[in-house]
Copies of this chain bind each other. A is one copy, B any other.
Amino acid sequence: MISIAIMGHGVVGSGVAQVLLQNAAAISHKAGDDIRVKRILDLREFPDSPLADCFTKCFEDIEEDDEIRIVVETMGGLNPAYDFVKRCLQSGKSVVTSNKELVAAKGDELLALARSRNLNFLFEASVGGGIPILRPLDQCLAANEVTEVAGILNGTTNFMLTKMIGEGLSYDDALALAQANGYAERDPSADVDGADACRKICILASLAFGKHVLPEQVQTEGIRNITADDVACAAACGGAVKLIGRSRKLSDGRLHVMVAPMVVEKNNLLSDVNDVFNAIMVRGNAIGDVVFYGRGAGKLPTASAVVADVIDEVKHLAARKYLFWESGYPTYVAAADDEAYRFMVRLDAMDLAAAKAALPDAAQLVAAGVPKGQAVLRTAFMTVTDLKNRLAAVGVEPLSCLRIFTLSQD
């Protein structure tokens, strides 16, 4: 019998307790031992919970209990989660967390601390909700040199963009619908401004390429400025606007990492990832492209990923897992604007001749669905600075410039 504690009894934490109780027999079988929830840390009270006796408001009840071998952290936010997780590891307990903010900010430090104590620190649920991605990335792709990781990492914005594409909603109406469905918070900024996707691409890039990428190193653009016209033009050109987190290894060992709305063309599987679903594409030198797809959020999918980590830690109480990355350094992430992309440039039709002269390699996309009085160009590969300079030189201010999502060797 292994005793564990759960810190936080919100959506994910209560889901973890529920999955552990509901699937207890199968979980014991998989783990090779029974798992007992001994303590749940929450400031609120839950007298009707089947685990009502386990609740405590005092972190020390967990920290000082040597019987508790594994602690699940589902509080979210950086503080006090960071302090609590550190103290759990320092007192000899392995930790599982679903907290992407914590892992993106402090993953290297917590992994090093866990390693120094021969403990485990696992966080499968922090990226892609229930989709198994970190463990496959670490283990199954061990024989590959991973060259690129990219994906649709935020379900809320993908839901909004799907509604804008499929039903012609405006950004504001799509946001209101997401809020009405419980997919977006009243303050939606962590989703729509890209911070959530940024944390996830930081974790993926850190694991894939071995050094920590911090959120503040990543140029992050959200979807607030995406209009119904952008979405319509992308569709007219056979693509879909998606919020993409992307990371690839540069030839000098540094990384390109960015989060931005991009046009995904129809020949790419990611263009068909709709609603709240997430999909993560991994490119390896031996394996080619692999895609992992599923619900990126939700109580039970996320809880099931947490419980899978708990099972793994029970099985590895004596021998730690190898998941690890080192600290990064200030210039590890290159300036995002130095990466060349193709662009979809939306223009006032009056500016078309000048823009074509400035961008002689660009193709004009003529298709039903481009709003009246507008025109769309698809450029060659260039940096955003080059694009803007060339247009400025001929006095053209584009209505919008969206990167076209292309994997590196395409």
Q: Which residues of A contact B (CB under 8 A)?
A: 19, 23, 26-27, 30-32, 124, 130-132, 135-136, 139-145, 269, 272-273, 284-295, 298, 300-301, 303-308, 310-312, 315, 318-319, 322
Q: List residues of chain B with CB within 8 A of the CB of A19.
A: 143, 286
Residue among A23, A130, A131, A284 facing the most chain B CB atoms (10 A cut-off): A130
Give 18 new A-B contacts, CB below 8 A, not counting A132-B290, A143-B304, A143-B305: A19-B286, A23-B285, A26-B145, A30-B322, A130-B287, A130-B290, A136-B136, A136-B140, A139-B311, A141-B304, A141-B308, A143-B306, A285-B300, A286-B307, A287-B304, A290-B293, A291-B293, A291-B294
Copies in the assembly, this chain = 2
Q: List residues of chain B with CB within 8 A of the CB of A305.
A: 140, 143, 287
**Known contacts A131-B290, A289-B294; is-contact A311 B141 (Cβ 8 Å):** no
Task: State the CA gap A135–B134 with chains docked (Å).
Answer: 12
Task: State the CA gap A410–B395 with chains docked (Å).
Answer: 55
Which of B143, B144, B285, B311 makes the CB contact (< 8 A) with A143? B311
Which of B30, B124, B131, B143 makes the CB contact (< 8 A) with A23? B143
Q: List residues of chain B with CB within 8 A of the CB of A136.
A: 132, 135-136, 140
* CB–CB A286/B272 < 8 A: no
Q: How far is the CB of A273 from chain B (nearest CB, A)?
A: 8
Find the B residue at minimum CB distance from A288: B295
Q: List residues of chain B with CB within 8 A of the CB of A23.
A: 143-145, 285-286
Q: List residues of chain B with CB within 8 A of the CB of A269.
A: 272-273, 293
Residue among A140, A141, A144, A308 facing the most chain B CB atoms (10 A cut-off): A140
Task: State the CA gap A143–B19 with chains docked (Å).
Answer: 7
